Structure 1
């Protein structure tokens, strides 16, 4: 098996996952509960778990069998921060400003918008959950999960690159056991099983695991994920891993690639942009067909803003991140 750096299926899955989450959020509490529009996107929230599978795969896939060692850990974390944090921080202030502007209109229903400085600082350190507060943008909880994953996986990849089989098995098994802990403080621990199905797929694509052992591991993980998260997440996680493992050439369609490229920005802005359009539309008496049109409008508006966000914020941050390498 020849390892390839660019896998169209990864970009396509990202785009589809972001779109599914967006449509789920825009139709919930807006479309009729028993209508076709709500039914079609009822389980779109599970796109988040697809992101976790992809993250579990992408970082080990890029660094396994490389010269990455524990001495590169802080550069690894800095690279992740350069790549992801500018979009997150700017979107945070974008949401705050948008909420202040929205609450200033006479048509606004509710108390004037306010946000404490301490809550903003908690967002900077992904500490909102630790202080039992609410995220300014509800999707930010997943960024906390991803950040905690980065903190651990950078250490683990350095260990895995020594290619000591018992050490690799021990660390992967240890990571899996975290998903069995009965706790609510560290959300990442609840999802380690989903990240691991991506990690095992990276081992397979890097020829560190054979096909039969890989299928065996995925089967065991599918059972664990089903036990912890239910059938929908198990099905999507397993499908995503299998698509990456055995059909990585699929998904090379321009609309999907474009959507996949802006998926992070799209994910960050779809609620403050599309959500505001939906909230305004709730004041109107609309048919189900008209609601469908509003959802399309809100989605397209979110994609348009995401494009701007991608080109002026996310893309430059990717360039900064690429300047960091792991050469000694």
Structure 2
């Protein structure tokens, strides 16, 4: 596994929009504050043109060819060591057949995002053996003041942090912004479901994307599974908008096709939009065959705050009494 070098003072942080762009005034203000905060910390922020554009009524920031070109310009820039997605969205899959994967392998660097950004992150780690970060998008750096999850994420990228503790509260869903600089609306007590201690290499992301990868055969995790199943693999997942039947079909299909060979534990984030029978009960019953811990309501995904999940890194989870710790080994 290739672990990109830590972010160092004087490096550039690249921001690009492989899915949706940013056009709302509150988001633009939030991004301006994010740039200021990161520049005050000693970094240069480089934004590609698609960050502040909207190509069509569907929300695409730009045509796929442009999105690929702008992402790869940051990949090939020697001064940029950390690339953060502007937003999530729905159309990142259009980039995949146009990507120069040899360029990605020649220029390993931190790439971060969540939701639709699973499309690129999962491919980079599972198929090209480069660690990536499932964490906040760039706008998180624009909140004032920074939540602990935001500062800790940057510390992971800087190489100064190797552990995190779960957060006491989380957001119940999306909330409107007035100034753009609002922090998290932590209104719901956080209680991780399940118990256990387990270690393995992290891999996963948004289930809405993983479902498409599996159903269409557009991602191949077998190189990752074959390389690391002997030392153990921890799968983490969270969903934006799925129901119980889709979740069961996806997990059963992945299990049947060997995606979960070597698994030592499952970690499920809080679903944003979900319908059907109890979510925790559904995933636990479906994955009972593996006889490993199945953790739910974890700090990963759409209901912030988010822990920093590093795809490809060896991680240890200790979950007990509704709280958890994450340690990178």
State the TM-score, normalized to the length of structure 2. 0.23
Relative contact order, higher structure (CA 8 A, sep 6+): 1
Larger relative strand fraction: 2
Q: Which has the larger radius of gyration?
A: 1
State the TM-score, normalized to the length of structure 1. 0.23
